[in-house]
Amino acid sequence: RHKFWETQPVGQYKDVGDFTLIEGPIEPPTPLSEVKQEPYNLPAAYEWTTCDMDSQETCDEVYLLLMNNYVEDDENMFRFNYSKEFLRWALRVPGYYRSWHIGVRAKASKKLVAFITAVPARIRVNDEVVKMAEVNFLCVHKKLRSKRLAPVLIKEVTRRVHMENIWQAAYTAGVVLPTPITTCQYWHRSLNPKKLIDVGFSRLGARMTMSRTIKLYKLPDSTVTPGFRKMELRDVPAVTRLLRNYLSQFVVAPDFDEHDVEHWLIPRDNVVDSYLVESPENHDITDFCSFYTLPSSILGNQAHSTLKAAYSYYNVSTKTPLPQLMNDALIVAKQKDFDVFNALDIMHNESFLKDLKFGPGDGQLHYYLYNYRVRSGMKPSELGLVLL
């Protein structure tokens, strides 16, 4: 069934529900001297390239490859359109390796035709903090599909990760592969229902008119929680403490230090937004919420070309009830002109999804680990990790 994945150190279907298998690496690291020194072979017309995301020109090429060839929904109505600034943020992370930003070019035209990336991360699985690679942005040009190029890209990124003495990875996909550690559901909260319906992202409910629908999704003009404000650089120590403490309860979660928090959570225009609640009494930072900006191209609509979507990122509540905190996040997202607010059913998100009028989407997101086994039957609510 999976000619490539059957050969890889990932949980295999035959192992699902086998509780005798213990948690941890599937295979041990090999000595670095035994890691293949040369890149894997590509079909003769193609060559490897390392993509320097500091270069405006390379960043433009990557942006265009993804804009035209990256992930679509199951009916090919929308395609992710990660911005250049977003790609820079996602790829130039603390301790990143330029060699992990891998492209494939046509030798003749030098055109970029495929891409895959990894960035380093410390991920905790139960009691172990494991150095991993987070793999993302795997993309093969539409004209080169089904030629088994993806396994070559995956083997090459694996080789380059091994060269840095890292032996595990985390990744997500909308497709089922051997074998998910858990499967999450996408939920959507309409902010601009008229546009969502016009472009086919959502439908008018039964016995609903447009004006009743607009009224249903109306939000207050301003946030309601006293002390709710944008996160600033001076908040990094407090937010790190809040987040580390919160994430400690999940089975799989990132092990963020202050450098990570500064990179991943300091607000960046049109990339990531973070808000917190500072107690008006004692100035304690008690709650935190964040979302990232990921527009989608609307394929073949006359009136609209982009759908502006916010994706729930990391949220922590200790004083403000999570539904109230997230309602404030919806209010700022609406102020910033987002059309929809998306969230997965991970962490404690289920506690606000229904109350805040999110509805389940038609997409799922499967989470995977490479060369690491975890107890099977993990629930999405036990997951504390968001990948972009």
Active site residues: 388
Q: How far apart are CA 243 and CA 246, in angstroms?
A: 5
> Can residue 387 be called a binding residue for ligand EN5 (CB under 6 A)?
yes
Q: Does 171 bind ligand NHW (CB under 6 A)?
A: yes
Binds ligand NHW (CB under 6 A): choice among 98, 107, 148, 354: 148
What is the Cα gyration radius of the chain? 21
| Window 138-177: residues binding ligand EN5 (CB under 6 A) | 172-174
Among 384, 385, 378, 386, residue whose Cα is nearest residue 180: 378
Residues 6+ apart with CB under 8 A from 250: 347, 382, 383, 384, 385
Q: What angle do CA 82, 88, 90 make, to 5 degrees?
A: 75
Euclidean distance between CA atoms 86 and 206, whole angstroms:
38
CB neighbourhood size of 168 (10 A): 21
What x/- string results for residues 110 through 139 when contact with ligand EN5 is judged by CB under 6 A? --------------------------x---
Chosen residue from 154, 199, 289, 383 binding ligand NHW by CB under 6 A: 154
Contact region with ligand EN5 (CB under 6 A), list: 18-26, 49-57, 269-277, 359-367: 359-367
Q: In angstroms, rounded to a whole number, what is the distance separating the alpha carbons of residues 86 and 343?
A: 18
Residue 388 CA to residue 263 CA, distance in Å, equals 14
Nearer to ligand EN5, 186 or 314 (CB): 186
By CB under 6 A, tell whether 75 contacts ligand EN5. Answer: yes
As a dihedral over the C-alpha atoms of residue 299, residue 300, residue 304, residue 310, rounded to 10 degrees, the angle is: -10
Least Cα distance to 357 among 252, 216, 228 occurs for 216
312 binds ligand EN5 (CB under 6 A): no
Choices 222-230, 246-254, 282-290, 362-370; region in contact with ligand EN5 by CB under 6 A: 362-370
Smallest distance from the beta carbon of 318 to ligand EN5, in angstroms?
29
Q: HSE, CB side, 13 Å, CA atoms: give it for residue 86.
A: 23
* C-beta of 21 vs 177, nearer to ligand EN5: 177
Name the binder of 201 from ligand NHW, ligand EN5, none, CB < 5-8 A by kind: ligand EN5
Binding site for ligand NHW (CB under 6 A): 2-5, 69-71, 133, 135-140, 145-151, 154, 157-158, 161, 167-169, 171-173, 175, 177, 370-371
Binding site for ligand EN5 (CB under 6 A): 71, 73-75, 77, 136, 172-174, 186, 188, 190, 201-202, 359, 361-363, 365, 387-388
